[in-house]
Amino acid sequence: MSYDISQLRKFVTPEIIFGAGARKTVANYASTFGAKRVLLVSDSGVQAAGWLADVEQSLADQDIDYVLFTQVSANPRVEEVMHGAEVYRAAGCNVIVAVGGGSPMDCAKAIGIVVAHDRHILTFEGVDTIRAPIPPLIMVPTTAGTSADVSQFVIISNQQEKVKFSIISKAVVPDVSLIDPETTSTMDPFLSACTGVDALVHAIEAFVSTGSGPMTDAHALEAMRLINGNLVQMIQNPQDIALREQIMLGSLQAGLAFSNAILGAVHAMSHSLGGFLDLPHGLCNAILVEHVVAFNYASAPDRFKVVAQTLGIDTRGLTTPQIRQRLVQHLIDLKKAVGFEQTLAMHGVSTSDLPMLSVHAMHDPCILTNPRESSLKDVEVVYAEAL
């Protein structure tokens, strides 16, 4: 019996514990992995918000030793990864716990890669480059958007070259993700908007990706529904834990979708932009999303119609160009409602930067699953529209 290998789909996920207070169970899982000493990766903002203290207390209560590593930038850097690996080795750690947004979680994953192979992190760029099992990874996300706690992505900033690079491998899917909506209550409105838009873009790109399938579609559509229906209200009512739970759940669903279906041109271009300007990832996505959707629409009109319907757009009686316009306008309106009206030019990008940005975007693995095959000139044109 013959089969079409292009139709096969894999689906990887960590063990997930979801709900208020999940962060306080860290030690239970660390002990399961035989933790002798934990490398606890975070950043100063999370530490100041108090979420690290609960995790430290959990470890202390079960007499699990740990060493703290908080020297992580908003876009984790090559040097920070290598420093973290040195700390891990020097302290004799055997388990890694990350508490924070995408930055500490990506840094923690990258540290795991380095200590498992004893090689520089720059040598792992690309897809399926990891050959040795990395230390057990336990993640406690404190933002609702990046989904690094469930994904097979690692994004690191190489500031010497002013680029971000991607490592994609099921080897970096965390072992356990402790998803606690309470931890997002200290996010300011800007961070809430950045991460929320990031999660929505994850869901949209996963649904129209050439790597999508029935398992990822269900998660992507539910993520769109949850984020579209709750993000504006959550930012307006930051202490409403029920709304935060809905957005955290949406972020989780989006993460499960994109980790397995991969992404598209928004993320390829956003990674290039974020590496160049050292801007928040969600902000880069927000600047680019409607321009990429408009560019891609004709290559997957049926899929984008479902996206539009899921975001609450009544498509009855509308032509394909009309649906496209309604969807693009909906994304613009949603961005405005959460405070995003920025352009590339407002961040100092000029037309002379676009060729370089486009070259880096074309080298990003996310471009490979974009629904519309993109040339260097195509990417440059979309960047120009976002100026």
* CATH code for the domain of 21: 3.40.50.1970
Alpha helices in the chain (DSSP H): 26-32, 44-49, 51-61, 78-91, 102-117, 189-208, 214-236, 241-261, 265-277, 281-296, 301-310, 320-337, 354-362, 376-385
Overall number of domains in the chain: 2
Last residue of a domain, one of 160, 184, 208: 184
The answer on 347 and 211 residing in a single domain is: yes
State which residues form the domain around 20. 7-184
> What pLDDT sits at residue 102?
94
Q: Are 144 and 196 in contact (CB under 8 A)?
A: yes
Number of Cβ atoms within 10 Å of the Cβ of 170:
13
Backbone angles phi and psi of 350, in degrees to 5:
-120, 170
**Considering the domain boundaries, does residue 1 fall inside one?**
no
Domain termination site, one of 184, 205, 233: 184
Residues 125 and 229 in one domain: no
Closest CA to 285 of 302, 301, 300, 268: 268
- Structural domain contains residue 340: yes
Same domain, 204 and 350: yes
Q: Are residues 107 and 209 in the same domain?
A: no
Separation between Cα atoms, residue 308 and residue 314, nearest integer Å: 8
d(CA 387, CA 383): 7
Residue 372, φ and ψ in degrees, nearest 5:
-110, 125
Task: Single out the residue in 184, 210, 235 at which a domain terminates.
Answer: 184
Asked if residue 2 belongs to a domain, the reply is no
Q: How far apart are CA 281 and CA 269, in angstroms?
A: 11
Say yes or no: 293 and 348 in one domain. yes
**Are 379 and 266 spatial neighbours (Cβ–Cβ below 8 Å)?**
no
Task: Mark whether 237 and 293 lie in a shared domain.
Answer: yes
Residue 167 shares a structural domain with residue 287: no
Cα(134)–Cα(113) distance, integer angstroms: 6
**pLDDT tens across the length of the chain (387 residues):** 677 877 888 899 999 999 999 999 999 999 999 999 999 999 999 999 999 999 999 999 999 999 999 999 999 999 999 999 999 999 999 999 999 999 999 999 999 999 999 999 999 999 999 999 999 999 999 999 889 999 999 999 999 998 999 999 999 999 999 999 999 999 999 999 999 999 999 999 999 999 999 999 999 999 999 999 999 999 999 989 999 999 999 999 999 999 999 999 999 999 999 999 988 999 999 999 999 999 999 999 999 999 999 999 999 999 999 999 999 999 999 999 999 999 999 999 999 999 999 999 999 999 999 999 999 999 999 999 999
CB contact at 8 A, 76 and 43? no
Predicted pLDDT of residue 1: 62
168 and 250 assigned to the same domain: no
Which pTM value belongs to this model?
A: 0.95
Q: Are strands 163-168 and 153-158 parallel, antiparallel or unpaired?
A: antiparallel
- In sequence order, what DSSP letters do the residues of 29-52 get, joined into one string? HHHHTT-SEEEEE--HHHHHHTHH
58 and 179 belong to one structural domain = yes
